[in-house]
Each structure stands twice: as C-alpha cells, then as structure tokens.
Amino acid sequence: MLERAKNLRNNLQIVDLEGMVPQDHLLRKIDRAVDFSHIYDLVEHLYCEDNGRPAVDPVVLVKMVLIQHLYGIKSLRQTVKEIDMNIAYRWFLGFDLNVRIPHFATVSYAFAHRFPSEIFEDIFAWILEEAVAKGFVDASTIFIDATHIKANANRNKKRKILARKTARNYDKLLREEINQDRIENGKKPLKDKDDDDQGEKQITVSTTDPECGLFHKGEHKVEFAYTAHVACDRKNFILGFEVTPGNIHDSIVFDTVYDRVVAGFPEVATVAVDAGYKTPWICKKVIDDGRKPSTPYKRPMNKRGFFYPYEYVYDEYYNCVICPNNQVLSYTTTNKEGYREFKSNPAVCKDCPYLGKCTNSKNHQKIVTKHIWDKYIDKAEDFRHSPLGQASYRLRSQTIERVFADAKEKYAMRYTLYKGLTRVKNWIKLKFAAMNLKKLAVWAY
C-alpha cells in the first residue's frame, strides 16, 4: 500500500502572499505595465468626500472587471467567487486572505449606474495610449471588419414593425454628384428629397431586447445579435470600434470606425477590408484621403450562364457601353442611387445570336448600370494586384480575424448577458481594453 497523505487542512500557518504569486504571472506583468492610480483621476468627479458611507475603492472595482474579462469569466457573480478563492486575484486587488471581497451587486451597480459611458471609453483610451507610448502600436496598415455577438434575447419572442431606413453619411454628396452628372448629360437634376422621403421598411424586433437586431448572414444561424465593428493594427492592438444592432450592414458603419481611427492615427496608409466593404463610396473615401484600400476579389453578381458584367465595356469618351457583340448601349439616365443606365436597341438585340446569354427581358432590351464612382473600384482593383495590396490583405487572417477568434474563445464575447445597446457597448469597451492590456503587459515584460 502507498503511504497515505496526512490531513493538513486544519494547520495554522503564516503565509507570505507576495511570495505565493509567481514572478511571471500575467497579473504581475499587468501591475508593472500600467499605473492604476490613473483611475482616480478618471472617476474623481463622480465621488464626494464627506457624504454617505465610504465607497469601495474605484481601482478595486476596475481591477475586478478586468479580471473578469482577462480570464473570460461569464458573470460578475462568478468573478467574485473566483477572486475569493484565488491568491493571485487577491494579490492583484491588494487584498490579503482575510479581506472580504466586495459583493458582486456593488460592482454591478457601479458600472451600471455610477460610472457613465465616458468612463468606459476613457479606460479603453488610457490603455491604448500606454501601448502607443511604449511603441507597440503600428498603425501604418489597419484592418477593419465586424463580428456578431449573440444577444440575450429569445429568438421566438419577436414582432414586426415599420422602421425608417438608415441614412447614409454620404447621401448629400452623392445627390450633388448625381445632379451634376445628369446636367452634364442633358438631364434635369433630381428633385430635392423631403425629410420624410427616406422610405420605410419592415423589420423584426425582439420583445426581450428591442435594441438588438435580427442577424442573418450566409450560413450563420438567424438570431438576435449585436455587431462589433472593429479596427486593429498590424500587431492586433484594437484601435477603435463601434457597436450596433445586428441588422445594420457593415459598410454603413465603416465611416464611423474609419474616421475615429484615422483621427487618432493619421499615419494610416493602407486600409484592409473584406468584400462587404468593397463599395464605390468606401473606395472613394479611402482613396480621396490619400490612402490605399486593400480589398479582395469579389465575385461578379451575374446569373449563371450569362455574360459577366466586366464583358460590357464602358467607353468614357462617348459615354456608352459596348456589349460582347460590339453593339452600343446608349446612356439614358442617372438614377437616384448613383448608377448611370445604358440601354440597348431592342430591334438589334432580338436577332442577336447571344441574346440568351445577355438578357431575359420580354422586350429584348439589355440594361447595364455603371456607378458614377466606379473608377474608384477600378483603382482598388489595381492596388489589389500590387505586391503591397496582396501582402496587406493576407495579414487579415493573422490580425482582425485573430482578434475576433480570441475575443470569442478566450474572452467570452460569443454572447452577452446584458440587454440594451449602451450596456452591451460598455461591456465590449472593457473587454477590448482587457485584450489590449494583456498584450501590452506580455510585450512589455
């Protein structure tokens, strides 16, 4: 028989808490990497000195939620239980083994009611500034993409409502250029839109969390979700982000994320995005700013067995389109979406041997559309074939896709327990702050 271990659970010992935490522990590196006393400056205006009961140290509150996100703990209730039993967590908070951990409701109340959204933004910005100050951030190339986060909402509890269509930031500029193009081609400018002329559409909303959106994309399961639109650098530091309901298209939020990042990092030279962002406006915005859009190949949107769109060649000098059978499609108008319309002669098309590969229209007329900003798509295509364009796009799998994978697998961002856009956004700010903090600490020590 093997010797049985003695029961030592009732022994009394003098414990050195400092010596029980390994020197290479992550929390030791974080404690050395940043000065947490900066938290006092951020929240000082939210506390009074003389009234009420003594408050829990705000640094302790912030450290507790950082522990939750650093180790992917699902809830604050479970976080408090883990801290109570973990020596390294207690050391990080500055507690010995006998100090009582603040109740999870105290922490929850502070972040839900006492601390406004600006505090969450300040914490994220402060950690990012520390990474920049240490020279770890390389924003010469940024990567922008979006990922969905499952909402805390029952998919079957829903209703349909009419909602106003989301206005685009560039609508006014597009309308001006459309009217200019129409005038140059002998057409009357479009009438000015009324404020209520944006149109409405029917959408599905959750009765559990009305601020989330019904997410449906490709092979993904249809579910209520939020979407995090994120920009990171070449070294996977998160530089900026925006959170929206899950039914907002990625390209609509691009301007918000892009403008925020380039305002803080004007050295950005290349912007790598996926096919969902390859729109005329995004390519125009990036190129007009003197930067390069790094985009992928986008499959032509044509019916199987029909001619590809690029086989209809636009002649800029004569402002017409030449079809694969060398027939001319004449300009007719520029529509309100910014597309020039070119139409063929039905009398010529009805006897064309390629009619079956060209159009199914009953009057044998082919209509080809070309956006007034299509030249920017062509410039993006030119850059896509360059060595720099190919190299920068290949990095997406190691950068922004890695950020999303880590956020969901290691930091518990696959779904949220919170309801409401503001609380979910604040939760994500802390999560991204923790991700940047861990990378900063590991790189610094």
Could you report the per-residue pLDDT of 68-100, keeping only the tens digit for each? 999 999 999 999 999 999 999 999 999 998 899
pLDDT tens across 392-411, in order? 999 999 999 999 999 999 99
Tokens of 239: 């530089």
Q: Is residue 435 a part of any domain in this protein? A: no
The string of pLDDT tens digits covering residues 127-159 is 999 999 999 999 999 999 999 999 999 988 989
Map tokens 């002329």 to a residue: 197
Q: Tell me, yes or no, whether 337 and 225 share the same domain.
A: no
Q: Are residues 401 and 325 in the same domain?
A: no
Angle at which helix 280-288 crosses helix 250-264, to 10 degrees, equals 10
- In the structure, what pLDDT confidence band is assigned to residue 226 with cuts at 50, 70 and 90? very high
The answer to whether residue 146 sits within a structural domain is yes
Nearest CA among 219, 277, 224, 229 for reference residue 257: 229
Residues 267 and 411 in one domain: yes
- Say if residue 89 is in the same domain as residue 43: yes
Nearest-5° Cα angle at 117, 39 to 425: 115
Tell me if 12 is assigned to some domain. Answer: no
Does a structural domain hold residue 352? yes
Return d(Cα 426, Cα 117) in angstroms, integer: 6
Question: Which tokens belong to 167?
Answer: 């206005």
Across 40-64, average pLDDT: 85
Is-contact 28 22, C-beta < 8 A? yes
Is the same domain home to 32 and 161?
A: no
pLDDT band at 196, cuts 50/70/90?
very low
| Residue 429 neighbours by CB under 8 Å, 6+ apart | 120, 121, 123, 124
Asked if 169 contacts 245 with a C-beta cutoff of 8 angstroms, the reply is no
Structure tokens given for 6: 């003695």
The SS3 assignment for 214 reads: strand
Residue 270 domain flag: yes
**Which residue, 373, 390, 410, sits at the end of a domain?**
373
145 and 174 in a single domain? The answer is: yes
Q: Are residues 100 and 217 in the same domain?
A: no
Whether the pTM exceeds 0.95: the reply is: no
Instruction: Name the domain boundary from 53, 85, 115.
Output: 115
218, part of any domain? yes
Among 85, 115, 145, residue at a domain's last position? 115
Do 225 and 368 fall within a single domain?
Answer: no
Same domain, 348 and 393: no
Q: Give me the helix-helix angle, 387-394 and 374-384, nearest 10°.
A: 80
Q: Is residue 300 part of a domain?
A: no
Whole-number percent of the chain with pLDDT over 90:
77
Are residues 159 and 248 located together in one domain of the fold?
Answer: yes
Dihedral angle over CA of 400, 294, 390, 237, nearest 10? -30
Range of the domain at 28: 17-115
* pLDDT score for 304: 87
What is the domain count for the chain?
3
Rounded distance between C-alpha atoms, residue 68 and residue 438, angstroms? 13
Helix (H) or strand (E) holding 224: strand 223-232
Answer yes or no: is pLDDT of 52 > 70.
Answer: no
Q: Tell me, yes or no, whether 171 and 282 share the same domain.
A: yes
Q: C-alpha angle 427/433/439, rounded to 5°?
A: 140
- Please give the Cα distance from 239 to 144 (Å, whole number): 10
Could you tell me the two tokens for 205?
Answer: 């909303």
The pair of three-digit structure tokens given for residue 141, joined into one six-digit string? 């190339």
- Asked if the structure places residue 342 within a domain, the reply is yes
In this structure, the answer to whether residues 46 and 80 fall within a common structural domain is yes
